[in-house]
């Protein structure tokens, strides 16, 4: 099964009562959201590594910059 960025979410429409499930797959997550999660200090290391792997799969180079050099 493909990697997920966050758990699936089930929502119920109030008027019709129809239930829909939203899956948050890693391959469908925008590049900006993946990069923001990697740079987030409170992000889980396991998810950060999944984000790095996804960016490498897409062919995006990651340049490491320390906070002191900014």
pLDDT digits (tens, 9 = 90+) for 44-69: 999 999 999 999 999 999 988 887 76
pTM above 0.85, yes or no: no
pLDDT at 1: 76
Residue 41 host element (H or E):
none
Q: Looking at the domain assignment, is residue 69 inside a domain?
A: no
Give the distance from CA 58 to its chain's centroid. 13
User: Structural domain tally of the chain?
Assistant: 1
Calculate mean pLDDT across residues 13-30. Answer: 96
> Taking all residues of the chain, what is their mean pLDDT, rounded to a whole number?
93
Domain span holding position 18: 4-57
66 lies in some domain: no
Alpha helices in the chain (DSSP H): 31-39, 45-57
Asked if residue 67 is part of any domain, the answer here is: no
63 inside domain: no
Determine, yes or no, domain membership for 62. Answer: no
pLDDT at 19: 97
């Amino acid at each position: 099964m493909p990697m997920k960025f966050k758990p699936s979410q089930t929502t119920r429409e109030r008027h019709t009562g129809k239930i829909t499930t939203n899956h948050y797959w890693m391959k469908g997550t925008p590049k900006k959201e993946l990069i923001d999660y990697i740079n987030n200090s409170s992000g889980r290391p396991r998810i950060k590594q999944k984000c790095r792997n996804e960016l490498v799969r897409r062919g995006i180079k990651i340049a490491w910059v320390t906070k002191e050099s900014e």
